[in-house]
């Protein structure tokens, strides 16, 4: 087993990984930017090293600097978390070349599946259903128009290196496609340094359901079930739950089998996620595979009672899975709610929810600074219950306990969202936010629902 792991990340995921290492008796090295010098990860790690200024390009994305620090500090492995270098094949290869284990799949697998267009091609060859779309990359706007005319409008133009909902644009006509072409490419170039494009038919307001995969380096691959991530805003997840209100046992089994087939076709090992969209007739289509730990991984951890970070570390160290597919049991209903900062600045007071069935993942503390340089996601509230309704009621109560002062967040919005009839009935798709946010914001402007009820 590894003795010392460098965490090439920040925020809640860095703290999550450090906590896991502590439980496994593994020392940790936190790398940080000047902006993060007072972070919880820096305080919690065995050792910490400043690697540059605030801008990620000058710190958290500095591959060679991070590897140098790992060598100097005697680390035998690097955990990349999510975002940053987590799906960067060249970084994974450099780790290996320097005798450091990369906690994730191999560089070859990352190139194969991390590039969305090449993953799509592999899935077509494997017989996994994909959304109808372009063949190969689109080199010119003319290529895009030809492909769009063939699959039929509306289409979704997507960046092959994309992630976090960036670099994608809808187009309902050739004119819109022309606009989308330049803006999506510019966004992709800025965010990923790569503006390769492909396109897919736009499935109207689909459901997003993804399957969590765990595979070791000995050929064992299992599926730990789904997460429904259809509550999104601008293609970014806001709330994730499992089991999905949309699936029945038969469809669940079929999608899990397909996900395992996809992972095996890629020769996959480590934790990974196969993402699908489903149309109203519950036809499912592969959209991408995330070759890393995901933000919403705690949903599955609570659902099946497994520590996915621990498993990732064990797998990277060459160990076998200690669970078979038959042993996977889903024992509760779990919901994760992402808390995003709407402004930046100092948190002047913080109170986190706790109690039965509540878990919080965050790097916040009273007095910490929320920086404009990084992702706005600052905390995750994860609740579990025997039934979906119990989980919803627990989430409401947890969000009522939560107090964050000094900055604005989406917490009140998310609290009211849990009262929306369509959400309670589980009748939602990725169009939920667009359809309902005005109404929820109106409730917000009128004050807290629970208060109104108790006053009347
Ligand atoms: P998940 O798929 O785990 O739900 P998100 O799509 O919300 O994750 O992305 C998690 C974080 O990783 C966000 O900070 C996002 O901006 C970042 N991210 C995701 N994919 C990429 C990528 N290909 N390149 C850079 N950052 C990425
Ligand atoms: P990212 O790498 O940014 O996570 P994805 O390819 O996973 O990008 O897509 C993000 C979201 O965009 C999906 O969860 C879904 O809501 C929407 N989406 C993706 N592909 C399609 C499609 N073909 N039709 C409709 N919506 C889609
Ligand atoms: Mg995705």
C-alpha radius of gyration, the chain, whole number: 22
List, in order, residues 6 or more apart from 186 with CB less than 8 Å away: 195
Does the structure show a pLDDT above 50 at 254?
yes
Does the structure show a pLDDT above 90 at 331?
no
Task: Give the tens place of pLDDT for each residue, 257-316.
Answer: 999 999 999 999 999 999 999 999 999 999 999 999 999 999 999 999 999 999 999 999
Q: For residue 450, what pLDDT is reported?
A: 54
Helices (H), 152-296: 174-192, 249-265
Closest ligand (CA of 184)? 2
Does the structure show a pLDDT above 70 at 403?
yes
Q: Ligand 2 centroid to 235 CA: how many Å?
A: 6
Task: Give the tens place of pLDDT for each residue, 144-163.
Answer: 999 999 999 999 999 999 98
Task: Please provide the average confidence, as pLDDT, over all residues in the chain.
Answer: 96
Q: Ligand 2 centroid to 96 CA: how many Å?
A: 32
The pocket around ligand 2, CB under 6 angstroms, is made up of 131, 156, 162-165, 200, 202-203, 206, 208, 232, 235, 275, 277, 287-288, 430
The structure tokens listed for 182 are 């330049």
Which of 147, 206, 280 has the most ligand 2 atoms within 8 A of CB, as the residue to mutate?
A: 206
For the beta carbon of residue 27, count every other beta carbon within 10 angstroms: 18
Report DSSP state, residue 436. H
The pocket around ligand 1, CB under 6 angstroms, is made up of 82-83, 87, 161, 163-164, 192, 236-237, 290, 294-296, 375
Burial status of residue 228 (CB atoms within 10 A of its CB: 0-12, 13-18, 19 or more): buried
Helices (H), 193-283: 249-265
Lookup result for tokens 């627990």: 394
Closest ligand (CA of 430)? 2
Q: Ligand 3 centroid to 182 CA: how many Å?
A: 22
| Residue of the CA atom closest to atom 27 of ligand 1 | 83
Does the structure show a pLDDT above 80 at 449?
no
Handedness of CA 276, 280, 282, 285 (dihedral sign): negative
DSSP run (H or E) holding 443: helix 432-445
Report DSSP state, residue 387. S
Q: Ligand 3 centroid to 290 CA: how many Å?
A: 7
| Residue of the CA atom closest to atom 19 of ligand 2 | 287
Instruction: Determine how β-strand 27-33 pairs with β-strand 101-102.
Output: unpaired
Cα distance between residue 188 and residue 182, in whole Å: 10
> Can you name the residues that pair with 102 across neighbouring β-strands?
78
3-state secondary structure of 101: strand
Does the structure show a pLDDT above 80 at 452?
no
- Helix and strand numbers (H, E) in the chain are 16, 20
Does the structure show a pLDDT above 70 at 407?
yes
Q: For residue 285, what pLDDT is reported?
A: 98
165 falls in which pLDDT band (50, 70, 90)? confident
Average pLDDT over residues 391-404: 98
Average pLDDT over residues 92-117: 96
Closest ligand (CA of 158)? 2
3-state secondary structure of 260: helix
Instruction: Determine how β-strand 197-201 pairs with β-strand 155-159.
Output: antiparallel
Q: For residue 448, what pLDDT is reported?
A: 58
In 329-393, DSSP assigns E strands to 333-340, 345-346, 349-351, 358-362, 369-370, 377-385
Instruction: Determine how β-strand 155-159 pairs with β-strand 47-52.
Output: unpaired
Average pLDDT over residues 157-185: 95
Q: How far is CA 413 from the centre of its chain?
A: 21
Average pLDDT over residues 113-126: 94
- Please, which contacts does 135-143 make with residues 24 or more away whose CB atoms are closer than 8 Å? 136/198, 137/196, 137/197, 137/198, 138/197, 138/198, 138/199, 141/177, 141/178, 141/181
CA atoms in the 13 A half-sphere facing the CB of 249: 2
Q: Ligand 2 centroid to 177 CA: how many Å?
A: 17
Q: For residue 456, what pLDDT is reported?
A: 45
| Residue of the CA atom closest to atom 3 of ligand 1 | 294
List, in order, residues 6 or more apart from 72 with CB less than 8 Å away: none
Q: Which of 196, 302, 325 is nearest to 252 (CA)?
A: 325
Q: For residue 451, what pLDDT is reported?
A: 52
Ligand 1 atom with the shortest distance to the CA of 240: 4
Task: Give the tens place of pLDDT for each residue, 211-237.
Answer: 999 999 999 999 999 999 999 999 999
Q: For residue 243, what pLDDT is reported?
A: 98
Does the structure show a pLDDT above 80 at 453?
no
Cα distance between residue 367 and residue 228, in whole Å: 34
Buried-exposed string 303-334: b where 16+ CB fall within 10 A, e elsewhere: bbebbbbebbbbbbeeeebebeeeebebebbb
Q: Catalytic site residue 112?
A: no
Cβ atoms of 215 and 315 within 8 Å: the answer is: yes
The structure tokens listed for 417 are 């969202």
The structure tokens listed for 113 are 């599946």
Q: Ligand 2 centroid to 207 CA: how many Å?
A: 10
| Residue of the CA atom closest to atom 20 of ligand 1 | 163
Cβ atoms of 198 and 134 within 8 Å: the answer is: yes
Does the structure show a pLDDT above 70 at 98?
yes
CA atoms in the 13 A half-sphere facing the CB of 262: 35
447 falls in which pLDDT band (50, 70, 90)? confident
Of the listed 120, 292, 394, 397, which one is catalytic? 292
Percent of the chain with pLDDT over 70: 98
Which of 235, 275, 279 has the most ligand 2 atoms within 8 A of CB, as the residue to mutate?
A: 235
Cα distance between residue 352 and residue 12, in whole Å: 14
Cα distance between residue 101 and residue 135, in whole Å: 35
Cα distance between residue 238 and residue 125, in whole Å: 33
For the beta carbon of residue 248, count every other beta carbon within 10 angstroms: 10
> How many angstroms separate the Cα of 329 from the Cα of each of 5, 258, 300, 370?
31, 19, 11, 38
The structure tokens listed for 52 are 């540059």
Does the structure show a pLDDT above 90 at 256?
yes
């Amino acid at each position: 087993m590894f003795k010392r792991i460098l965490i090439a990340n920040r925020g809640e995921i860095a703290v999550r990984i450090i906590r896991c290492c502590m439980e496994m008796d593994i020392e940790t090295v936190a790398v940080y930017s000047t902006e993060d010098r007072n972070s919880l990860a820096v305080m919690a790690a065995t050792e910490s090293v400043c690697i540059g200024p605030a801008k990620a390009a000058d710190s958290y994305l500095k591959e060679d600097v991070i590897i140098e620090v790992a060598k100097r500090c005697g680390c035998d492995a690097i955990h990349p978390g999510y975002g940053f270098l987590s799906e960067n094949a060249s970084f994974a290869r450099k780790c290996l070349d320097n005798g450091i284990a990369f906690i994730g799949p191999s560089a070859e697998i990352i190139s194969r599946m991390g590039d969305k267009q090449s993953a799509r091609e592999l899935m077509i060859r494997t017989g996994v259903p994909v959304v109808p779309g372009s063949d190969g990359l689109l080199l010119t706007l003319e290529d895009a128009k030809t492909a769009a005319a063939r699959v039929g409008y509306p289409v979704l133009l997507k960046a092959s290196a994309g992630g976090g909902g960036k670099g994608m644009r809808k187009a309902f006509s050739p004119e819109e496609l022309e606009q989308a072409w330049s803006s999506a490419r510019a966004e992709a170039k800025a965010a990923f340094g790569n503006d390769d494009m492909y396109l897919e038919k736009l499935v109207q307001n689909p459901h997003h359901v993804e399957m969590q995969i765990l595979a070791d380096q000995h050929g064992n691959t299992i599926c730990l079930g789904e997460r429904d991530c259809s509550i999104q805003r601008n293609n970014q997840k806001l709330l994730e739950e499992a089991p999905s209100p949309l699936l029945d046992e038969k469809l669940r089994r079929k999608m899990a089998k397909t996900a395992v087939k996809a992972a095996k076709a890629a020769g996959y090992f480590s934790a990974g996620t196969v993402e699908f969209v489903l149309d109203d007739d519950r036809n499912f289509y592969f959209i991408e595979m995330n070759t890393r730990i995901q933000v919403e991984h705690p949903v599955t951890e609570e659902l099946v009672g497994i520590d996915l970070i621990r498993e990732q570390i064990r797998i990277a160290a060459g160990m076998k899975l200690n669970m078979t597919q038959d042993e996977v049991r889903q024992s509760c209903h779990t919901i994760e709610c992402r808390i995003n900062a709407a402004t930046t600045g100092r948190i002047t007071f913080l109170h986190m929810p706790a109690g039965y069935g509540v878990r919080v993942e965050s790097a916040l503390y009273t007095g910490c600074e929320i920086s404009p340089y990084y992702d706005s996601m600052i905390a995750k509230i994860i609740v579990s219950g025997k039934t979906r309704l119990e989980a919803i009621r627990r989430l409401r109560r947890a969000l009522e306990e939560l107090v964050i002062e000094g900055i604005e967040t989406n917490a009140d919005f998310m609290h009211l969202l849990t009262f929306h009839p369509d959400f309670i009935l589980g009748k939602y798709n990725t169009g939920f936010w667009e359809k309902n946010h005005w109404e929820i914001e109106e409730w917000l402007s009128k004050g807290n629902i629970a208060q109104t009820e108790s006053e009347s």
